[in-house]
Amino acid sequence: MCSMEGKKWEGKVCTTLSKATADQIWSLYKDFFNLHKWFTGLETSYGIYGSNGELGCVRYCLGCSIPTSDGCAAWSKEKLVAIDESNLSLSYEIVDSNIGFNSYVSTVRVSPAGAADHGCMIEWSFVVDPVNGWRVEDLLRKYQLGLESMAMKMEEAVISA
């Protein structure tokens, strides 16, 4: 067993959509307080501080996508720390949780994939202190599955609108 003491876990997952543009997906994703509409396993999310989408706002998330050591529902408070409308990206940090994530920052970027009116790619990256009881590979797999599910829901919403 190798020690990760003092090292951060870093990872990135991505998925490509063929039927939605980057702008269409970004308009859904930047609705920071309503991630539960798209993310499977997230029971609810809502704003607890600030205005939706403004720097410094904080959302509360509750769900079962990440198991907790005590078997309770997983929750986190997440603060929007960067938003770049021109590059369709945002970053947030977990400021409190019961899921064992310390020093966690995540960035999501939406970009065109090919012609501007055909398809897009979503990248979700993270930097986190090692999580007790996890391997970084497990976390990456969980993120990949979560991103693919979320992207499918978003694309379906865009198509049916």
Closest by Cα among 40, 32, 95 to 64: 40
Instruction: List, in order of start, the domains of the chain with CATH numbers.
Output: 9-160 (3.30.530.20)
Instruction: Please enumerate in sequence order all residues whose Cβ is within 8 A of that of 156, keeping only pairs 6 or more positions apart, or say none.
Output: none
Q: What is the mean pLDDT of residues 4-11?
A: 76
| Ramachandran sector of residue 119 (left: φ over 0; alpha: ψ -120 to 50; beta: rest) | left
pTM of structure: 0.89
Share of the chain above pLDDT 90, in %: 73
Is-contact 20 119, C-beta < 8 A? yes
What the block records as the tokens of 71 is 């078997």
Rounded-to-integer distance, Cα 114 and Cα 64, Å = 35
* Residue 100 confidence class, pLDDT cut points 50, 70, 90: confident
